[in-house]
Amino acid sequence: MELRHVRYFVAVAEELSFRGAAEKLHMAQPPLSAQIKALEEELRVRLLERTTRSVRLTHAGRVFLEEARAVLAASAQAEQRARDAAQGLAGTLRVGIIAPVAGAWLAGILRRFRQRFPGVQLSLFDLTSTEQLRRLHARELDAGLLRPPIGLPELDYKFVGESRQVLAVPAGHRLARKKRLEWKDFHDEELVLIHPSAQHGFYDPFFAACAKAGARLRPVQYANDIQTKMWLISAGFGIAPTTATLGEVKRPGLVFRALPAGLPPVQTVLAWRRGDPSPVLEHFCKGFEPFMSLSIL
C-alpha cells in the first residue's frame, strides 16, 4: 500500500464518484479505477460498491475511510514537523546548566524562548561544568551553560554573563560582623568547598589572593553540590567564596559579604558543538544576545 492509494481512495469516498474524484485529483478516470482496484486486491477487501450509475462505501470501506484520513493526517504532520524542525521551530534541545545560573535571568530567557518556539521541547540538565563538557562531547547535550575554560577544540562558545564572587558566611560569624574585609582576615579560616572533581579553577583566584596576603586557609568540608555547600555554611561549618547570583537564594543563618577587590569576575559561557548547525540551537543561542557583561549574574 502506498499513500497514493490512500489519497485516491479518500477522494473517491468523499466524492462518491470516480469521475468526480479523478477531476479533483487532476487525472483521468481509468487509472484511478485501476489504483482503487489494486488497493482492494492488496487488502483483499471490497471497499466500494459500484454500479455503473453510483458508488457506495461498503462497511469495510467506511471503517477504512476513517483510518485513511488518519494516515493522511499523520503524513501531513510528518512533513510539516520535518520542515519546522529544519527551521528550528520543532525538535528537542538538551541544555546543561549549573546551579548558579538557575536564577531569574535564565528563567526570563527560557520563558521567551518557549514562547517564541512552542514546538521545541527544552530539556534542562543540572550538571557540573565538567560533566557538561563530557556530555557535549558524547553528543548527549546540545548546549551547556557552564564555566570556562572549555578545553575541547570541537566546541564553540560565547560569553553570556559574568558575576562577582562574594563571601558566604554563617550569620554571626566573626567575618560577618566586619564592615570591610581584607585578604589577611581569612588567615586560619575554615572553608566549605565544592569537591575538586566537580570543579575546575573556581577557587583559584581566591586561593592566590589569600596566599599573596599571607593568609593560610583550612579546607575542612567538601560538598558535592551547591545546596549542600550553602547548607554546611549556614550550619556554621565554615565560610566560602560563591557566585554573587546565589545571593538570590535566602537561607536562614546564611549571609553574604563583599570580598576585597582584586578578583576577576566569574564568567558564564554558552557552549555547543561547532559544525553541528541545528537551527533550533541557533535560535537558542540568539536568545542570549546581546552579551550581558553587566548582568547581575
Side chain identity at residue 217, one-letter code:
L
Q: Does 45 bind its own copies (CB under 8 A)?
A: yes
Cα separation, 100 vs 19, in Å, equals: 68
Scanning 66-74, 160-168, 201-209, 212-220 for contacts with its own copies by CB under 8 A, the matching segment is 66-74
CB-nearer residue toward DNA: 38 or 285 = 38
Which position among 77, 197, 224, 293 is part of the footprint of its own copies (CB under 8 A)? 77
Q: Does 180 bind DNA (CB under 7 A)?
A: no
19 binds, among DNA, its own copies, none (CB under 5 to 8 A by kind): DNA
Which position among 28, 76, 82, 235 is part of the footprint of DNA (CB under 7 A)? 28
Transcribe 129-154 into DSSP letters.
HHHHHHHHHTTS-SEEEEPSP---TT
Minimum distance between the CB of residue 111 and DNA, rounded to whole angstroms? 40
Minimum distance between the CB of residue 108 and its own copies, rounded to whole angstroms? 25
Which position among 34, 70, 73, 86 is part of the footprint of DNA (CB under 7 A)? 34
Q: Does 79 bind its own copies (CB under 8 A)?
A: yes
Q: Does 27 bind DNA (CB under 7 A)?
A: yes
CB-nearer residue toward its own copies: 279 or 287 = 279
Spatial CB neighbours of 77, under 8 Å, sequence gap ≥ 6:
none
Transcribe 249-285 into DSSP letters.
S--TTEEEEEPPS-PPPEEEEEEEETT---HHHHHHH
Q: Does 44 bind its own copies (CB under 8 A)?
A: yes
- The answer to whether the bond into 290 is cis (omega within 30° of 0) is yes
Residue reference for cell 548527549: 140
Which position among 1, 3, 30, 78 is part of the footprint of DNA (CB under 7 A)? 30
Residue reference for cell 548546549: 143
Residue reference for cell 488518519: 70
Helix (H/G/I), strand (E/B), else coil: 211: helix
Which position among 10, 24, 38, 195 is part of the footprint of DNA (CB under 7 A)? 38
Cα separation, 64 vs 9, in Å, equals: 9
Q: Does 174 bind DNA (CB under 7 A)?
A: no
The single-letter DSSP state of residue 50 is E
Which residues, listed in sequence order, are joined to residue 267 by a DSSP beta bridge? Answer: 162
> Residues interacting with its own copies, by CB under 8 A?
1-4, 6, 43-47, 58-64, 67-68, 70-71, 74-75, 77-79, 81-86, 90-92, 278-281
> Residues interacting with DNA, by CB under 7 A?
2, 4, 17-20, 26-38, 50-55
